[in-house]
Structure 1
Amino acid sequence: MAKILTITNQKGGVGKTTTCVNLAASLAATKKRVLMIDMDPQGNATMGSGIDKHTLELSVYDVLTEGCSAADAVIEKSPAGYDLIGANGDLTAAEVELLQLSRREFRLKMALKPVEDQYDYILIDNPPSLNLLTVNALSASGGVIIPMQCEYYALEGISALVGTINKINARLNPDLKIEGILRTMFDPRMSLTKDVSEHLVEYFGDKVYRTVIPRNVRLAEAPSHGLPALLYDKNSRGAVAYLALAGELSRRIKQQNKELQEA
């Protein structure tokens, strides 16, 4: 059964979509079966995967509103190397429509049940806000990866996000937990970066990934070519960092599964 992970942060511009696209590509490159789901109406993860959001025949909007099954909406082996359920502006309407539907917080979870066994990982990209789309993603997931910059405002924002995750855990999804904290746009030359990084490790301990994602021009350029950094410039520091993250994530989950079996 797939490990379902939501990549989210209520603060914008921290590298959520960059992380989702590049982690999905890196996991796929290591022969994992990966499905990425774009839950952001902006459709940036869709475009960054090499798929034109304007030409989607079926999207996550159709899945959430029961216009089609998840299997029908999957684009197999996108140019980025993984399967994709894309998104575009239609998804904005889904929020209003979901309010009228029963079990509206669990629409994505129910839709994914029939396809879970086909993948090792399902990664979900989210908008930078807490809305019904994000709640659906969190309700469907077993873990949350939180990308964040090592700056003061990001540190403030993460406490609010942790509170949100705890509420979802208590009310909607008892399996939900923080899978890991990912430090993005990392610049070790800045003293603030080091200070915030130390605070994160002090508070979250081994939840903080050892891998850090550096500021990297190739990471910024790759989306305009509709490619993850691994396919745009595999030797770039950004591409190498996300490959390292994929390895670290896989090792952690393997260890978690081993501990569960032994318990």
Structure 2
Amino acid sequence: MGKIIAIANQKGGVGKTTTSVNLAASLGVLEKKVLLIDADPQANATSGLGIDVEAVEIGTYQLLEHSASAKDAILKTNSPNLDLIPSHIDLVAIEIELVDKDSREYMLKKALKDVIPLYDYILIDCAPSLGLLTLNALTAAHSVMIPIQCEYFALEGLGKLLNTIKSVQKIHNKELDIEGLLLTMYDSRLRLSNQVVEEVKKHFDTMVFKTIIQRNVRLSEAPSYGESIISYDADSKGANNYLSLAQELIEKNSK
């Protein structure tokens, strides 16, 4: 039975898509069957895995509308053991279209029922907002992973996200768990980076992943080639970080 993990933070630029793509690819390399769902209208996870966004005919939009099944929307990627449900700019309209629908928060949950048994992990790359798209992801997920960048405003907005998670737990999804907080964009040379790490660990202690994702040029280059860091440069610091995160996640979930 697949574990569904939403990767969410309403702040943009914290490494959500980078984490979604590279964690998914790393889990695949470690022989787990993985489905990545691009639930962001910017479709960066889709293009980051080498899929032509303009050519997408069935994706997350059709899934939420229930005009196509999850199995119809799945694309194979060049990454071992990794499938993708792509996104498209159309997805922007879904918030408005779903607004009058009954059970609008449960559209993704319903759509994924058939494919959960086919995968070990299903990762959802969420949009940088707390709108209906992210709400659907949190309602469908078993847990949520929160990337936090090691920069000045790191903890700003985190309270808001944790409150949203609490209300989703209360109203829509009692099972929703926090998988963990992931520190990203860490630069060991900067005092600020180290202060943020200390601060986050002080406040959240065991909720923080041991693996920290370091700033890495190769990591920011990979998406422009439509590749994960694992296939773009398997020896890079970025690839090592994400393989280590995947390993930590697998160990955590095998207890």
TM-score, normalising length from structure 2?
Answer: 0.97
Q: Which has the higher helix share?
A: 1
Matched residues in 2 for 1:117 and 1:145: separation? Answer: 21
SS of equivalent residue, structure 2 residue 6: strand
Q: Which residue of 1 aligns with 2:233?
A: 233
Q: Which residue of 1 aligns with 2:210?
A: 210
Across the two proteins, how many residue pairs are aligned to each other? 254
1:7-46 correspondence to structure 2 within 5 Å: 7-46=7-46
Q: Which residue of 1 aligns with 2:62?
A: 62
Does 1:132 find its partner at 2:132?
yes
Letter in 2 for 1:10: Q
User: In angstroms, what is the RMSD of aligned CA positions?
Assistant: 0.9
Q: Deviation per CA, 1:50-79: give whole Å up to 9, x if none.
A: 111110121110111011101111113x12
The percentage of aligned residue pairs carrying the same residue is 51
* Deviation of the 1:160 alpha carbon: 1.5
Q: Is the 8 A contact 1:11 1:154 kept in 2?
A: no
Does 1:161 find its partner at 2:161?
yes
Q: Deviation per CA, 1:131-163: give whole Å up to 9, x if none.
A: 000000000001111111122312122122111
* Deviation of the 1:100 alpha carbon: 2.5
Q: Deviation per CA, 1:63-97: give whole Å up to 9, x if none.
A: 11011101111113x12331110001111111111
Matched residues in 2 for 1:100 and 1:145: separation? Answer: 29
Q: Is the 8 A contact 2:154 2:196 kept in 1?
A: no
Q: Deviation per CA, 1:99-142: give whole Å up to 9, x if none.
A: 13221000000110111000000000011111000000000001
Q: Structure 2: which 5+ residue stretches go unaligned?
A: none
Matched residues in 2 for 1:244 and 1:164: separation? Answer: 29
TM-score, normalising length from structure 1?
Answer: 0.95
Matched residues in 1 for 2:79 and 2:64: separation? Answer: 24
Matched residues in 2 for 1:200 and 1:214: separation? Answer: 16
Letter in 2 for 1:180: G
Letter in 1 for 2:248: E
Moved more, 15-24 or 180-189: 180-189
Q: Structure 1: which 5+ residue stretches go unaligned?
A: 256-263
SS of equivalent residue, structure 1 residue 105: helix
Q: Deviation per CA, 1:169-191: give whole Å up to 9, x if none.
A: 11111111210111101012222
SS of equivalent residue, structure 1 residue 203: helix
Moved over 4 A (4+): none
Q: Is the 8 A contact 1:51 1:79 kept in 2?
A: no
Q: Is the 8 A contact 2:10 2:161 kept in 1?
A: yes
